[in-house]
Amino acid sequence: MPSLSRRHFFGAAAGVAAFAAAPRLVFAQAPAAAPAAAPAPAGPFAVPPLAYPFNALEPHIDAKTMEIHHDRHHGAYVANLNTIAKANPQLGTSAITDVLGNLNALGDDIKFAVRNNLGGHANHTMFWEIMAPGGGKPEGEVLAAIDKDLGGLEKFQTDFNAAGGRQFGSGWVFVTVAKDGKLAIETRPNQDNPIMDGKRALLGNDVWEHAYYLNYQNRRADYLKAWWNTVNWSKVAERYAAAKAGTLGV
Ligand SMILES: [Fe+2]
């Protein structure tokens, strides 16, 4: 009986298919049943979007490093700040420069966390801003200040790289700019920022291992050298003018 045979065949085939599919279905459902990652707490702080794709700075900084650094590391500082701001709403309504410039005004219960997480938010916001594909060279007033205060471009970059290499553990190497426009190379540990002692960062490079380890491993010196290919000098020039005008934020 062909039709019965066919029904039997299809029935059997369906049974086999169902049997074969079952483990896959169970498997497919398993991740959905697992606890989802907790959404980042909403609040007044947000990671600023990059003005370029994650892979835009390759080969100097690889796309995966940029993605993890921007979305997860900076994201964690922002998430922590939003958690702190729930119980301390004034944190979200104050200028970042005011808070970082007056950390001692904060209660002891949040001072350390604000220093680390708001410092990290400020540092990384600056960092994404002063990079761009294509790099370029300093010119105009910034170049004149580099020549005057830092011994010229070549010496400046050599000294900056050496300072970044000497920073023990995690931290940053900055060019700070004073109100009169004077430049200096300075390092800070952890997520400290020159705003904390009344200065401003004109530019800075992140020497935490999370900034380079996927591609450079322990070769921080190679990362520091390659990083110059990513510096957005036209943005640095804007920051320099703003610093002299007293309007530079983070
Ligand atoms: Fe970082």
Cα–Cα dist 51/239, whole Å: 16
> Would the pLDDT of 14 be above 60?
no
162 CA distance to ligand 1 middle (Å): 19
Taking residues 184-209, what's their average pLDDT?
97
Cα–Cα dist 187/123, whole Å: 12
29 CA distance to ligand 1 middle (Å): 36
38 CA distance to ligand 1 middle (Å): 22
69 CA distance to ligand 1 middle (Å): 6
171 CA distance to ligand 1 middle (Å): 9
Helix (H) or strand (E) holding 186: strand 183-189
213 CA distance to ligand 1 middle (Å): 11
Cα–Cα dist 128/66, whole Å: 10
pLDDT confidence band for 41 (50 / 70 / 90): confident
pLDDT confidence band for 136 (50 / 70 / 90): confident
205 CA distance to ligand 1 middle (Å): 9
Q: What is the reported pLDDT for 39?
A: 61
- Whole-number Cα distances in Å, 204 to 53, 91, 126, 163, 222: 20, 25, 8, 11, 16
pLDDT confidence band for 134 (50 / 70 / 90): confident
Q: What is the reported pLDDT for 38?
A: 55
Q: Is 183 exposed, middle or buried (0-12, 13-18, 19+ CB in 10 A)?
A: buried
Instruction: Give 47's strand partners.
Output: none
> Would the pLDDT of 18 be above 80?
no
pLDDT confidence band for 245 (50 / 70 / 90): very high
pLDDT confidence band for 135 (50 / 70 / 90): confident
Q: What is the mean pLDDT of the chain?
A: 88
151 CA distance to ligand 1 middle (Å): 28
Q: Which of 169, 160, 73 is nearest to 124 (CA)?
A: 73
Taking residues 41-62, what's their average pLDDT?
96
pTM of the predicted model as reported, rounded to 2 decimal places: 0.84
Taking residues 55-59, what's their average pLDDT?
98
13 CA distance to ligand 1 middle (Å): 56
36 CA distance to ligand 1 middle (Å): 26
The first and second tokens of residue 248, run together, are 């530079």
8 CA distance to ligand 1 middle (Å): 64
208 CA distance to ligand 1 middle (Å): 6
Q: Which of 216, 191, 180 is nearest to 103 (CA)?
A: 191
The first and second tokens of residue 187, run together, are 């390092």
Cα–Cα dist 185/63, whole Å: 28
pLDDT in tens, 198-235: 999 999 999 999 999 999 999 999 999 999 999 999 99
21 CA distance to ligand 1 middle (Å): 45
* 185 contacts: CB under 8 Å, gap ≥ 6: 150, 156, 159, 160, 163, 173, 174, 175, 176
212 CA distance to ligand 1 middle (Å): 9
